[in-house]
Amino acid sequence: MHKIILSLVLSSICLGINAKTVIHAGYLFNTDNGSVEPEMSIIIENERFSEVLEGYVSPSPDDNYIDLTGYYVLPGLIDMHVHLTNQSSNRAYLERITLNAADYAIRATKNAENTLMAGFTTVRNLGDSDTVTISLRNAINNGIVIGPRIFSSGKTISSTGGHGDSTNSLNQTLTSDLGPKDGVMNGELDALKSVRYRYKENADLIKITATGGVLSNAKDGQNPQMTLNEIKAVVDAAKDYGFKVAAHAHGSEGIKRATLAGVDSIEHGTLMDKEGAQLMREKGTYYVPTLLAGKWVADKALIKDYYPPFVEKKALEIGPKLQSTFSMAYQSGVKIAFGTDSGVSPHGENAKEFALMIAAGMSEKDSILSATIYAAELLGKKTDLGSISKGKYADLIGVSKDPLIDIKVLETVDFVMKGGKVVKQP
């Protein structure tokens, strides 16, 4: 194990001192150009990178010094699709009526910590209830708990009975006709009000469910569940409020409608056809594939009674198709950003997505770029995140091997820094 010298780092964190930090990196993965650069010095001041220099510059006596000369150093990883409040189990459907918002909040806090320790310093949380991840985002930003930077959509916007309607499949005495406040819309006026409620909740972006889903206890996992005009109304309202829009979509028709309406990303995209892929490429729409979720649900569906019958059938049909769809989309030149749907699979195992992407034909370099600079671009935060560059937040990780040769090394990250603070070390 390579020794890491952390002179004054921990004490400066505790005392809140903004001392300069000097890191010597054995190899630095430059996501701005895709190159790996040996023997680099990284200078950090006030939570951001102030300089990135060739060679090992000598730290001054007052500097914090971190020796990562035996490591490959990369920007902090970004997962563009997680659900921090959720965790897959055979009790998940029962928990919808037995757990309270506080239970989910406590669970989310631990899941956020696991995610950060796995090297993911930024996540996009796509859907929750009771604004749990918005409150968690604020708690992390205020230093109350530790976790990644969270960009939260708050409540998912769906249609009545659609994927995202929280009363879908419940006993009739427990269900109700939900409206825009609860993220359920029908028609263009509802679409406007649904977006405005997310603004009122202080969400960071908008998520819609343009088609059915796998894990909702309903018959169809791919049918369109919003009209083209409804999605356009969401997108138009979102632009007024500075929101990007992520669209959950499995079926090909829903993917095309969402793309034509101008959403920023398609999540899952399981049954995307070549026409849809071409349309996404023309529009510059990002694809967030969530291969890990597809594999997880297909595997768990083989366990008797793990899922309800409707869900089991969809998981077996849809889950295995993600790999081939991803391969087609990648070869078609669709822009891809890394996302796992963690919460379906365990939090903290996010990096297992990389190997699945590579098995489907993506290069190691492109898979890393998808979780760094491309993800930052989709977030609209390229000036702050995605590379180890002057002026950006000092988020970085260290691993013991070259990830371009062994991508699975990213599943066991040795060193994690977020905003200039060390949160994990050997």
Q: What is the pLDDT of residues 297-343, one digit of tens each?
A: 888 878 888 877 777 777 777 778 889 999 999 999 999 999 999 99
Measured between alpha carbons, how far is residue 173 from residues 93, 176, 254 in Å?
17, 8, 31
The pLDDT of residue 351? 98
Confidence check: pLDDT of 50 > 70: yes
Percent of the chain with pLDDT over 70: 90
Sign of CA dihedral 332, 334, 335, 340: negative
d(CA 313, CA 329): 25
Q: Which residues pair with 152 in a beta bridge?
A: 125
DSSP letter at 76? P
Distances (CA, A) of 25 to 18, 29, 195, 353, 411: 21, 10, 44, 26, 20
Q: What is the mean pLDDT of residues 151-157?
A: 97
Domains parsed from the chain with CATH numbers: 9-75+388-424 (2.30.40.10), 77-379 (3.20.20.140)
pTM over 0.95: no
**Stretch among 299-303, 382-386, 389-393 having the lowest mean pLDDT:** 299-303
pLDDT of residue 179: 79
Highest mean pLDDT out of 4-18, 80-94, 239-253: 239-253
* pLDDT, mean of residues 156-166: 80
| Locus of tokens 């260290």 | 398
Structure token pair of residue 420: 């200039």
- pLDDT computed for residue 98 by the predictor: 84
Residues 6+ apart with CB under 8 A from 18: 12, 45, 46, 47
pLDDT of residue 12: 40
Please check the confidence at residue 219 and state whether its pLDDT lies above 80.
no
- Of 46, 135, 6, 39, the residue nearest 390 (C-alpha): 46
What is the mean pLDDT of the segment spanning 46-70?
97
Residue 194 — pLDDT band, cuts 50, 70, 90? very high
| Per-residue model confidence (pLDDT) at position 166 | 61
More confident residue, 172 or 180: 180
Determine the pLDDT at residue 102. 95
Query: What single string gives the DSSP state of each residue in 308-377?
Result: -HHHHHHHHHHGGGHHHHHHHHHHTT--B-----BTSSPTT-TTHHHHHHHHTT--HHHHHHHTTHHHHH
Query: What pLDDT, on the 0 to 100 scale, is given for residue 165?
Result: 62
Instruction: Report pLDDT digits (tens) over 19-38.
Output: 899 999 999 999 999 999 99
Asked if residue 94 has pLDDT above 90, the reply is: no
Q: Look at 174-183, 362-371, 406-415 and tell me which has the smallest mean pLDDT.
A: 174-183
Predicted pLDDT of residue 281: 98
What's the pLDDT band for 9 if we cut at 50, 70, 90?
very low
Q: Where are the beta strands (DSSP E) in 146-290?
A: 149-152, 158-159, 184-185, 206-209, 245-249, 265-268, 286-288
